[in-house]
A and B are shown apart, each in its own frame.
Chain A
Amino acid sequence: MIIRKLTILSAIISLFTVSAATAGTLDTVKSQGFFNCGVSQGVPGFSNPDSDGNWSGIDVDVCRAVSAAIFGTPDNVKYVPLTAKERFTALQSGEIDVLSRNTTWTLSRDAQIGLEFAGVNFYDGQGFMVRSDSGITSAMELDGASVCTNLGTTTELNMADFFRANGMSYEPVVFEKADEVVNAYDEGRCDTYTTDKSGLAAQRTKLADPDAHVVLPETISKEPLGPVVREGDGDWADIVRWSLNAMIEAEEFGLDKGSASSTCATTGNPVVARLCGKEGGNGAALNLGDSWSYDIISQVGNYGDIYEANVGANTPVGLARAGSPNASYKNGGVLYAPPAR
């Protein structure tokens, strides 16, 4: 009797003395054979499930690129849909390994919450959407308007800054879920809906009558959207960062998904050869095999491929690349990847 009680007691006490050894994310991911990618709950063009539950989008493609780099196949990813409110807590707590959910890179997010941004996969800005028949043609005419937006995003802060800077008043109507915001705007609860312009284009496809709404020309903020990882996890962050950079650099040197195998077989350009994994051996520095960049490009594509497939001019989202910051730096945009060597 006493022996039984003493055994139970010692078992309970021993629980408290076990301290969890923190393995790096890369080791955990390699041993379990997949990783968790935090995405949105459905933003067309960025991360959206189809009717079979398959995810697609430019944010999804970043995670697929990481998976291709580590495992040689883009499918070893589990997608976790998150609201704007829970996305950072999910990453901080370890529920997800990468957050690829059109998240804006800001100082407070980088420095204050134990997270780190691994690059920018879409340069965006905040805008307003109104009904065409309201007769509004400029954001400066929005004095006194009711504005629908999402809870806990940079949108709320930028909106306050914009109206304050221009001496206008407004009424914020703030919902937690993106679907509720769109619904309320569609119902007429608000005069205007504000979020990143890419989000406006994406959510417009969900409205009852997409053509009855127009996006106003003003861009009131900078919104560099990119993947986020936990701070202190250098190896993992490097892989995510360089997967994205490899895609951007591949486009700069003309290496795309369709012609990857033939170009790699015949190329004499050393930069291309390195991206094809034929020489240079920089996979070891990332703790990956040598074909990491070739796997990304041949199975997911370069930046141009994933942009045109998800948010390009031929998609329902329809964001033209020319003239936007998302063009390559050689074409007047801001997309510039450090050399992968």
Chain B
Amino acid sequence: MQGRDLSLNNILFNRSVQGIFYQIVTLALVILAVIYIVDNTARNMVARGLASGFEFLGVEAQFDIQMTLIEYSPTSTYFDSFIVGLLNTLLVAGLGIFVATIVGFTIGIARLSSNWLVAKLAEAYIEVLRNLPLLLQIFFWYFAVLRALPKPKQSLELFDSFFLNNRGLFIPDPIFGEGGTLILYSFIAAIIISIGIAAWSRQRQNKTGQTFPVFYSSVGLIILFVFLSLFATGFPVTFDYPELKGFNFKGGIKLIPELVALTFALSMYTASFIAEVVRAGIQAVSLGQTEAARSLGLNQGQILRLVIIPQALRVIVPPLTNQYLNLTKNSSLAAAIAYPDLVLVFAGTALMQTGQAIEIIGMVMGVYLLLSLLTSIIMNLFNRFMRVAER
């Protein structure tokens, strides 16, 4: 090596050497800070006699939960209560995302309507719901809904089988007797045939340009298959009707008002944000696309469905992912209205009874982190799929 002077001066004042040195020091400091925090916590927990470890997950919970999607009793373990809370959170998050997407897209498209009244109503909806705190909206839906509904003895009823009161919405529960599997198989078969029809119709359209009413024919096919199988097995469906026994209705499917109020509040709130995201995406598609589509003779609905939205989705999907993550995390506000989600059941009751704050909060944070990561992975895959399809 010629001209490389390795004197001490040159090493000390060399820019890149200094840079590496400071990076190493900073990294060491961060690691030291983490070690200090962990060590301090562990030492203090031992000093104060706080129990630690995850053995509590195998202990009986001894408390009941209002709404469980799996079998649960006070003799189930804390881990079972964790699963119950997790499933309830997933339920409200899933329902909320579904409803919020539909409402949000509708409002967003309505916002851009050429009808002045529709556009202004959509704008009012967005402005009002975006600016009010979510907790207040949840309280509003819960107490406003509760106050309006009658007591069980004076329930609103429909056909003597659907009941609505301030304990919930009660729906008859269809129980499939003998031959239930045949009905299920025919339903699945009908769906598979519909997918086949859709693929065949797309091929035919590519070749000859003739369209085929895929949607209506598949719906008709499914209904036909299900009815035929029901007929063949002699209608083995019995309904478990909800009946007023003592205080409340027993039997049937029950939707508690907490779930309804929470889903409503979350969906309406997030829909107002999604509406703005959708509007941004649609406006990002250049006007030339609309003009070209119009000159091809497509009507407004077809333009939106076939030309604008597929291109707008590229802009919509990343912020939409954000809104889905927000909705999932906001569902933790369920603790305010007694909906038994993960935070209320596990980070509330279980934490209080066992006192092991660090392990429980760590688990709950881990769950939300995992849910958010899963959602963003799925949406990113969807985004990539959209991009490929566009080409």
Contacts and interface: CB of A to CB of B under 8 A. Distances in A.
Q: Which of A108, A172, A183 has the most CB of B within 10 A?
A: A172
B353 A157 contact: yes
B51 interface: yes
Contact of A176 (B47, B143, B335, B354): B335
Contacts of B353: 108, 152, 157
Nearest to A231: B49
Majority secondary structure, A binding face: mixed
A188 B354 CA distance: 32
A85 B99 CA distance: 32
A114 B246 contact: no
A189 B146 contact: yes
A240 B254 CA distance: 50
A16 B32 CA distance: 8
Interface string A142-177: 111110000111001101110110000011111110
Contacts of A32: none
Contacts of A284: none
Contacts of B147: 187
B48 A88 contact: no
Given A151-B344, A151-B348, A232-B47, A175 B143 contact: no
A183 B354 CA distance: 28
A257 interface: no
A184 interface: yes
A204 interface: no
A80 interface: no
A92 B48 contact: yes
A152 B66 contact: no
A161 B50 contact: no
Interface string B57-75: 0000011111000000110
Given A157-B62, A159-B64, A188-B151, A176 B336 contact: yes
Interface string B117-143: 000000000000000000000000001
Interface string B283-326: 00000000000000000000000000000000000000000000
Contact of A164 (B74, B166, B337, B344): B74
A254 to B, nearest CB: 40
Interface residues of A, number: 47
Given A113-B51, A161-B62, A187-B143, A88 B248 contact: no
Given A160-B74, A187-B166, A232-B49, A175 B338 contact: yes
A109 B356 CA distance: 11
B50 A113 contact: yes
A231 B167 contact: no
Q: Which of B45, B48, B336, B348 has the most CB of A within 10 A?
A: B48
B167 A113 contact: no
B81 to A, nearest CB: 12
A112 B51 contact: yes
Interface residues of B, number: 45
A113 B45 CA distance: 9
A153 B352 CA distance: 7
Nearest to A169: B250
Q: Which of A88, A160, A183 has the most CB of B within 10 A?
A: A160
A231 B246 contact: no
B372 interface: no
Nearest to A155: B63
Contacts of A271: none
B64 A160 contact: yes
B385 interface: no
B159 interface: no
Given A9-B25, A152-B351, 17 more contacts: A22-B47, A85-B348, A89-B357, A92-B48, A108-B353, A108-B354, A112-B355, A143-B246, A144-B250, A145-B246, A151-B352, A156-B63, A160-B64, A164-B74, A174-B348, A189-B166, A232-B47
Interface of A: 9, 12-13, 16, 22, 84-85, 88-89, 92, 108-109, 112-114, 142-146, 151-153, 156-157, 159-161, 163-164, 170-176, 180, 183-184, 187-189, 191, 230-232
15 contacts: A13-B32, A16-B33, A108-B354, A108-B355, A113-B49, A114-B48, A144-B247, A151-B335, A161-B74, A171-B66, A173-B338, A180-B336, A180-B338, A188-B166, A189-B166
Interface of B: 25, 29, 32-33, 36, 45, 47-51, 62-66, 73-74, 143, 146-147, 151, 166-167, 245-248, 250, 257-258, 335-338, 340, 344, 348-349, 351-355, 357
Q: Which 9 A-B residue pairs are closest in the complex by CB-CB distance?
A: A152-B352, A113-B355, A114-B48, A114-B49, A160-B74, A114-B50, A145-B247, A156-B63, A144-B246
